[in-house]
Structure 1
């Protein structure tokens, strides 16, 4: 008697969770069903059935919808799992051999930034790496202040860097706008939402910051002014990201390079460098 071939696994059952995520992302991107259907090359009727949970989207359709919505890799994985499929993008620790090339690149960039500060941040503003200049300048500004592994907490905690920031309300207001944008652009990201709530809970935060101001975007360039023991330091920052990432960790990395806004700041940083 011929051996019975194993049956193919049944397709995943339709799920309303995928539909909820799609509606949230459409709202965040301000797209109608027709807009999304045209961008993803699917029928409006089928998209409507997927959003209500009446129909099951194929894996290819899920990926096309994610592309049309410009979803980050972490959120694409969440949408795939909500639709009943395995995630497509790995999330690899930066310290593993698989990301050695990425780690070398980040180390090179922040090393080249000496004697000026540079930080490597993830999408939730955690400080993943920092060069020696960043540690020297942060140590000078904090002295006995509270160290944080998160840039938002650094600037909002009264016992952190906040006490040394001359234009704190301007800088913190810009960071809040960034956080509001993070939440609006990734509606299912509970970590960003919790970080925004935490920032708003610190003392002295204006009540008006609790609401996102329509039509406003974070400033493209902002100078942060620090003052400690009569020394004033002025920095502006640039951010670098990796193009066409295929890993969640790489997709979420941002390299912040701080540049002196005046010669006094540049001279202070050079003087603090070893061997100066």
Structure 2
């Protein structure tokens, strides 16, 4: 989805096709008539701002693109994009810090839509060990950190599996927004290595795990991604919290022992880790 060009009808039709919905499907979800959807898409009816947002909601259009739809229809944008460090985002930051600290000693990161690391917890030290300093400043990027030869890639035992995981996630993003920075990440770290060589998970596994060699021994991690429910701010909608968990008991022991004898670190905006 290129977005940002064409009439509001053209853009809505693109989103409808992307969601693989008929005009009747969209009409039923938006609780309007199929005829009205047709008139809007063909430009024979000028929708109100409320109608644009109703159709966008039914199509699950991201807030950033809802603003573009409103602009195409001749209306002002409705959704702000605030810096995470802005004063009115303090409650969000506090919630994120709580999540990150509660997850220690396991690694956790807060990322923006371009995979730039905004906040971390102390467990991320495991993912930073031995990484080239250039990949950590001015801001780490989880794709680069994982797949760059100067990052974790040489230490990841199942690098093909991990790369294919990033391939799937980046492809989904690019299907909705051909963002140049995400495109660059895909073209640099994924496209040259697409070979379909990733093996299927072992029969006894319930999730795919990343195997990572640490200075002590190999650990196995899987992750979950958490987002905010019903956000009304673009920044907030595009924030993701990735929480890493031990995939076996030995890894859990290694991560727990890494925290032994010291107070776990807090978190800082900008991907920094506060010392104990």
Q: Could you say which TM-score interval applies, normalised by the shorter chain?
A: 0.7 to 0.9
Cα distance per residue 1:165-211 (max 9 Å; x no partner): 11111111011111112233x2xx232x65245323348512569xx
Cα distance per residue 1:218-269 (max 9 Å; x no partner): xx93211111446211111122222221211111121111111223322332
**Alpha-carbon distance in 1 for matches of 2:130, 2:260:** 18
The answer to whether the 8 Å contact 1:120/1:253 transfers is yes
Whether 1:99 and 2:99 are equivalent positions in the alignment is no
Partner of 2:274: none
- How does 1:1-276 map onto structure 2 within 5 Å? 16-134=6-124, 136-142=125-131, 146-147=135-136, 149-184=140-175, 186=176, 189-191=177-179, 194-202=181-189, 204-206=192-194, 221-229=207-215, 231-273=217-259, 275-276=261-262
Between stretches 227-236 and 253-262, larger displacement belongs to 227-236
3-state SS of paired residue (1:190): coil
Between stretches 84-93 and 15-24, larger displacement belongs to 15-24
Cα distance per residue 1:116-136 (max 9 Å; x no partner): 1100112222211111221x1
The answer to whether the 8 Å contact 2:23/2:34 transfers is yes
3-state SS of paired residue (1:259): strand
TM-score (norm 1): 0.80
**Alpha-carbon distance in 1 for matches of 2:128, 2:72:** 44
Relative to structure 1, the CA distance from residue 19 to residue 221 in structure 2 (aligned partners, 3 Å threshold; closer, same or farther) is: farther
**Alpha-carbon distance in 1 for matches of 2:195, 2:131:** 27
The answer to whether the 8 Å contact 1:120/1:128 transfers is yes
Gaps of 5+ in 2: 198-205, 263-276
Between stretches 50-59 and 24-33, larger displacement belongs to 50-59
| Matched residue count | 247
Gaps of 5+ in 1: 1-14, 210-219
3-state SS of paired residue (1:31): coil
**Alpha-carbon distance in 1 for matches of 2:164, 2:243:** 20
**Alpha-carbon distance in 1 for matches of 2:184, 2:169:** 13
3-state SS of paired residue (2:129): helix
Relative to structure 1, the CA distance from residue 232 to residue 252 in structure 2 (aligned partners, 3 Å threshold; closer, same or farther) is: same
Moved over 4 A (4+): none
Relative to structure 1, the CA distance from residue 231 to residue 242 in structure 2 (aligned partners, 3 Å threshold; closer, same or farther) is: same
The answer to whether the 8 Å contact 2:143/2:185 transfers is no
Deviation of 1:61 after TM superposition, in Å, equals 0.8
